Amino acid sequence: MGGYVFFCSGWENNVMCHFVEKETFNSFITMKKLFLLISFLLVVGSVSASGRRNISDFTRGGNRSAQSAAAKTDKTDAVYKSISQQYADGKISADSVVNLALYHKVWSRPLAERCLQLVADKSPRAAMELGVLYAFSPEYAAKASEGVKLLESSAKVGYNDANCYLGLYNFNHNDYKTAKSYFDACSPMNLGIGYAALGGMYIEGKGVNEDPARARENYRQSALKGYPRGMALYGFNLRASAAGKISYPDSFFWLYIAGDLGDDAARTILYLPERNEFRGESETANKAKEALQWIRKVQSGKKIQNEQIYREGFLPSLKDRELAAEQGDDWARFYLGSMNYNGDFLNQNYKQVIHYYEPIARNGKLPANLLALVNERLAEIYRDGKGTEVNTTKAAEYARKAAQYGSLPAYLITENIN
pLDDT interval class at 268 (50, 70, 90): confident
Residue of higher predicted confidence among 29 and 10:
29
> Is the pLDDT confidence value at 77 over 70?
yes
- 9: nearest Cα among 25, 22, 23, 28: 28
What average pLDDT does this structure show over 168-176?
A: 95
Q: What percent of the chain has a predicted confidence (pLDDT) above 70?
A: 78
Q: Residue 66: which pLDDT band, with cuts at 50, 70 and 90?
A: low
Q: Residues 6 or more apart from 400 whose CB is under 8 A from it?
A: 410, 414
pLDDT at 273 (0 to 100): 86
Question: Which pLDDT does position 149 carry in this prediction?
Answer: 98
Residue 25 has a pLDDT of: 36
| CB burial readout 371-383, b (16+ within 10 A) else e | bbbbbbbbbbbbb
- Pick from 13-17, 31-35, 114-118, 201-205 the range whose average pLDDT is largest: 114-118
Q: Is the pLDDT of residue 366 over 50?
A: yes
58 strand-pairing partners: none
Average pLDDT over residues 69-81: 87
The pLDDT, as a whole number, for residue 40 is 56
Give the model's confidence band at 68: pLDDT under 50 very low, under 70 low, under 90 confident, else very high.
low
What pLDDT band is residue 417 in, cutting at 50, 70 and 90? confident
pLDDT of residue 34: 58
Mean pLDDT along residues 5-24: 33
Overall average pLDDT of the 362-384 stretch: 98
In angstroms, the Cα distances linking 263 to 28, 53, 233, 247 are 20, 12, 10, 20
Q: Is the pLDDT of residue 281 over 90?
A: no
- Residue 26 predicted with pLDDT over 50: no
HEC string of 60-91? CCCCCCHHHHHHHHHHHHHHHHHHHHHHHCCC
Does the pLDDT value for residue 83 go beyond 60? yes
Q: Is the pLDDT of residue 33 over 60?
A: no
pLDDT at residue 59 greater than cutoff 60? no
Query: In this model, does residue 224 exceed pLDDT 90?
Result: yes
